[in-house]
Structure 1
Amino acid sequence: MADLDRVLVLAGGLSPEHEVSVHSGRSVSEALRRLDVEVQVADVDATLLDRLTADPPQVVFPVLHGSAGEDGTLREVLELVGLPYVGADPAACRLAYAKPTAKALMAARGVRVPRGVVLPKSAFHDLGAPALLERLADRLGPTLFVKPDRGGSAFGATPVTGVQDLSAALVSCFAYSDSALVEERVQGTELAVGVLDTGDGPTALPPVEIVPDGGVYDYAARYTAGRTEFFCPARLPEETLDRAREAALTAHRALGLRDLSRTDLIVTEGGEVVFLEANVAPGLTETSTFPMAAAAAGLDFAVVCRELAHRALLRG
């Protein structure tokens, strides 16, 4: 069996999720070093290709969030230079990163998704914003959720309680994307379900229940200690948790993901599991749900990171 000696952790990037990525990279690098793995940490900039070519690591562990890290771009570059890496391949990243596409794939597999529409910024200019806003509320109801059709960490995502709030929510959304995903707001218990595969097939980790103090799991609630309560496993009946785990596994397989992923779900009062989105590069910070779920499953986060890197090495 090949020995794992040197891993390059890529963290940072130019997306709005830069700081989250830096914290995730720190968590992964410190975990690997505890197991005596030599780790280098680098950002993505104009020197990266020369560095990868001149002094190639055994394995790359990308923990970049946002566009370049999750839309397949970075993975394409790593494929071009022939380096093994942890995580999904470019094609799977593109599927997961496009929220409407991921929703369509899940709906085709019998998993409920929120009703919604995707509209570009130009539609509101060309067709008249007031009439379009009114039609959206008529179609989907007054209680909505507006989010960029791509991206993560809740940037540009806003809950809407009435048509009067819809315009401002769209302005916020269009600061991060040229297209908005406008959905019905499904009420219920919010869950994050990690999926881990270190070589024996994908396994769903214990679902994490998310209870933000302000009622909305926005950027501040995600990454500010004390702003959100987490319960792992979630405080739901076991049969409901089983359905949540199965939905996460369905997303992992349907999107062609590998190694690790996180699926975000809502469980309604009636116990129905609703798919929101899947993430190819889940946060790995001290307040992130993936390490929390791994700990609840009795797994050592450092060992998980090493096994993921080693699996990438063998695959490469």
Structure 2
Amino acid sequence: MTAAAPQPRFQDPAVFGRVAVLMGGTSAEREVSLESGRNVLDALRARGIDAHAVDGIPALIAALMDKRYERVFNILHGNRGGGEDGVLQGALEALGVPYTGSGVLGSALSMDKIRTKQVWMSEGLPTPKFERLRPGADMRAAARALGLPVFVKPSCEGSSVGVFRILAESDLDAAEAFAASYAGELLMEQMVIGEEFTVGIFGDLALPSIRIVPAGEWYDYHAKYIADDTQYLCPGLEGDDETAIRDLALRAFRAAACSGWGRVDVMRDRRLGLQLIEINTAPGMTSHSLVPKAARQIGIDFETLCWLVLENTLADKTLADAEVRRE
């Protein structure tokens, strides 16, 4: 399966005006966001775009009230001070400022892994069985109901923050200690035994899948952002299998009301086949990040990818006017 690479609609960087590259923030994923943001900022500036770094939502809102920026490239990660939970999107909608990525509903829904899985199940899309753990829930009873092995993770975090791999009942001790100090809901999910994949989404296009092969036992925070020995095979599958995983990822993305760009994580269970895991609506743009790797596979370099993502913030009239000027 060969994906056609999208092309920039025009070449004039002035059409974007002054762009705020929103990074950092106060979520648990701040450091990853800062690295992603610096990379995006450098890429946009390399293409002549008048782009500026803004750290966190309060600083952005103050700048927008002073009308210092015309659009926002959101590369905040996470929630509670991150930019993926719908709060930022709601504020920007109220201010009438265009921004990259999914809207309020898609951002809020996909930030919540439990609710995303409920939507997928209602649409008949495959996802591992799970238990919803409210604060104070009996984690051991949930594990017995699902059967080991399982993963335990916050419903509303990313970047493998607070994720526990439970192979034996004794492994629950650390997860329970974390739960005692964590205010939000946790997701306990049956562990998929098989291969791990991710599929980048750009508009209506599913990018080539990437098969992730960590050197360790699983793809944890270290393997994602620090280790240099994690293997990324792209495309991850071939023929009909590759077509199937891209189609499933795009259906999952749309079912969760997501738009613009993002990434869908998928596992292939040895018995059950493809299983949807979660959606990332502001994917990382670090040296280890996966959407840029998939984009390169179809001929889109990093600078062009950032340009194309930002193009999605332009209204049709703006694009049409730019094309007329170009002609």
Please give the secondary structure, in 1, of the residue aligned with 2:137.
Answer: helix
Distance 1:45 1:268 in 2: 39
Q: How much has 1:114 moved relative to structure 2? A: 0.8
What per-residue deviation string (whole Å, max 9, x for no partner) do you get for residues 83-121 of structure 1? Answer: 110111111111111111111111222221111101112
Contact 1:115 1:140 in 2 (8 A): yes
- Look up the match of 2:53: 41
- Look up the match of 2:118: 104
Contact 2:213 2:230 in 1 (8 A): yes
TM-score relative to the length of structure 2: 0.87
| Number of residue pairs aligned between Structure 1 and Structure 2 | 303
Q: How much has 1:138 moved relative to structure 2? A: 2.6
Structure 1 residues 237 and 66: alpha-carbon distance in aligned structure 2, compared to 1, 3 A threshold:
same
- Look up the match of 2:72: 60
Q: How much has 1:7 moved relative to structure 2? A: 1.3
Mark the runs of 5 or more structure 1 residues left unpaired by the alignment: 125-131
Distance 2:259 2:294 in 1: 18
Contact 1:220 1:227 in 2 (8 A): no
**More displaced stretch, 154-163 vs 165-174:** 165-174
Please give the secondary structure, in 2, of the residue aligned with 1:313.
Answer: coil
Instruction: Please show how residues 1-316 of structure 1 align to structure 2 within 5 Å.
Output: 3-44=15-56, 46-67=58-79, 68-124=82-138, 133=140, 135-173=141-179, 175-197=181-203, 202-234=204-236, 236-270=237-271, 272-314=273-315
Distance 1:79 1:56 in 2: 17
Distance 2:240 2:180 in 1: 39
Contact 1:31 1:301 in 2 (8 A): yes
Distance 2:270 2:294 in 1: 23
Q: How much has 1:305 moved relative to structure 2? A: 1.5
What per-residue deviation string (whole Å, max 9, x for no partner) do you get for residues 161-205 of structure 1? Answer: 0112123223235555522111110111100110002xxxx1000
Equivalent residue letter for 1:50:
A
Please give the secondary structure, in 2, of the residue aligned with 1:215.
Answer: coil
Structure 1 residues 5 and 45: alpha-carbon distance in aligned structure 2, compared to 1, 3 A threshold:
closer
Quote the RMSD (CA, aligned, Å): 1.9
Distance 1:261 1:145 in 2: 23
Identity level (%): 35
